[in-house]
């Protein structure tokens, strides 16, 4: 049975792996968000609309803080609709 120090080291390593994986996932989500935001749905092939909608729906279901973390990971910002109108 591992000692307490070994267990702590294993947990620390697992946490580091999870945090690294989270950063990778945030970069993917951030890049997907920027891509979806830049698409003109009228110009998409019909076959791509369903996939784009699935990605957009998934992005929209994220908590705002998580989405902001994702955008920050790719150095992007969400434009406020109120300021662009």
- Which tens digits make up the pLDDT trace of 17-62? 999 999 999 999 999 999 999 999 889 998 899 999 999 999 999 9
State the pLDDT confidence band at 74, using cuts at 50, 70 and 90.
Answer: very high
Q: Within a domain: residue 81? A: no
State the pLDDT confidence band at 81, using cuts at 50, 70 and 90.
Answer: low
70 Cβ contact partners less than 8 Å away, ≥ 6 residues apart: 26, 27, 29, 30, 33, 62
Q: Within a domain: residue 82? A: no
pLDDT value at residue 82: 44
Q: Within a domain: residue 84? A: no
Among residues 38, 18, 11, 26, the alpha carbon closest in space to that of 66 is found at 26
- The DSSP code for 42 is G
Q: Within a domain: residue 70? A: yes
Q: Within a domain: residue 83? A: no
Check if the beta carbon of residue 44 is closer than 8 Å to that of residue 51. no
- Which domain range does residue 8 map to? 4-75
How many structural domains compose the chain?
A: 1
Q: Give me the torsion for CA of 29, 26, 34, 36, rounded to 10°.
A: 10
């Amino acid at each position: 049975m591992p000692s307490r120090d070994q267990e702590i080291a294993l947990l620390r390593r697992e946490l580091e792996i999870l945090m690294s994986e989270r950063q990778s996932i945030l970069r993917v989500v951030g890049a997907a968000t920027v891509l979806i935001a830049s698409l003109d749905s009228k110009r998409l092939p019909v076959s791509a609309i369903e996939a784009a909608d699935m990605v957009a729906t998934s992005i929209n279901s994220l908590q705002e803080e998580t989405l902001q973390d994702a955008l920050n990971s790719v150095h992007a910002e969400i434009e406020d609709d109120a300021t662009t109108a």
